[in-house]
Structure 1
């Protein structure tokens, strides 16, 4: 089984989902492909509070650095850098600033010159293509994350309030795999639990 996760690094729910996916994949020896999605692109032109647009712009800068890391060092660099950024932003409550991204690059063992990509709109095409691919896999506009199992459809989520323990984590991925194999399955939703 392979798992593809489209993520925006600013999203706290996506961070928890990514840790679940990473844990399950590592224990099962299955690959994870990290793909970019952009809440800035998704919400472009929408009437949202300025603080959200500002957070999305900062996240786009982080996505550019992640894209540059992938271009030079491949998927392992995306995994390491997203892990370092997410830890600082979602676990330590740092703001997603250039200083935080720079510190995350050091944490991930990546060269500091990758930070120059934060201001390089040349990476926006790649980010946009990845974003649109994720949206097309879901089939309708959806937020972060988007998860796909093997070559199956993409799903928004799953949204997890905390990273599930091993047994629950395995049950959840098995449930997603089962749902992915049922062509007529379309959507499932329940009340969102608060982050924990």
Structure 2
């Protein structure tokens, strides 16, 4: 989806890699969709996997069950993208995020089926959750997004490209809640400025809020 204002076109593309279960990625995605309305960008969603990212790592016990549960949603997302295209993935990610983060629907089969219904996609795609058939494509998508920013970050990851910008890739931004309207556009302008500065690597402070979905 491109900006809907007459006389505007997408001057740049924001490719965002997300795992539907990450609340910070969900908030950042809401921000990017706001930016899409006030800046000439096109947002495209792609799938990374926190389960893939944390394979082989010594993670706290409370995260281990989430690593196991997390495979289903990303597998279904990849299956939807492969069978029905990137717009289907966009709709499915939006549906999953709403159910997971706003309705606390969990990561199980009930959420998957409800999200597929909401995204007007075949219920049979839910079968991908319990098979490794799409794991090669999942890993390829994951590494396409994550390798350019390194192994020490998670999601969200954004790649920016276009005629007016040098290609850049970065982790973040992490925020709570997402700004709206022109405030979202101003944050975009600042993020592009710092991420596009040669030699700039990090700007960070402690999080003092839980995710606010708004």
Question: For 1:1-196, what aligned pairs fall within 5 Å after superposition?
Answer: 1-28=12-39, 30-150=41-161, 152-194=167-209, 195-196=211-212
TM-score (norm. length: structure 1): 0.93
Q: Which is worse superposed, 144-153 or 62-71? A: 144-153
Any idea what the Cα deviations from partners look like across 1:72-122, whole Å, max 9, x if unmatched?
Answer: 111111110011110011011111111111011001111101111111212
Contact 1:145 1:158 in 2 (8 A): yes
Q: Tell me the number of residue pairs that the alignment of Structure 1 and Structure 2 aligns.
A: 196
Relative to its length, the structure with more helix (as a share) is: 1
Decide which structure has the larger Cα Rg and report it: 2
Shift of 1:167: 2.1
4+ residue stretches of structure 1 with deviation over 3 A? 26-29
> Which SS does the other structure have where 1:86 is aligned?
helix
Q: Which TM-score applies when normalising by structure 2? A: 0.85
User: Is the contact between residue 69 and residue 114 of structure 1 (CA under 8 Å) also seen in structure 2?
Assistant: yes
| CA separation of 1:184 and 1:165: change in aligned 2, threshold 3 A | same
Gaps of 5+ in 2: 1-11
Residues 1:124 and 1:102: Cα distance change in structure 2 (over 3 Å): same
The RMSD of aligned alpha carbons is: 1.6
1:49 Cα offset (Å): 3.3
CA–CA separation in structure 2 for the residues paired with 1:67 and 1:140: 21
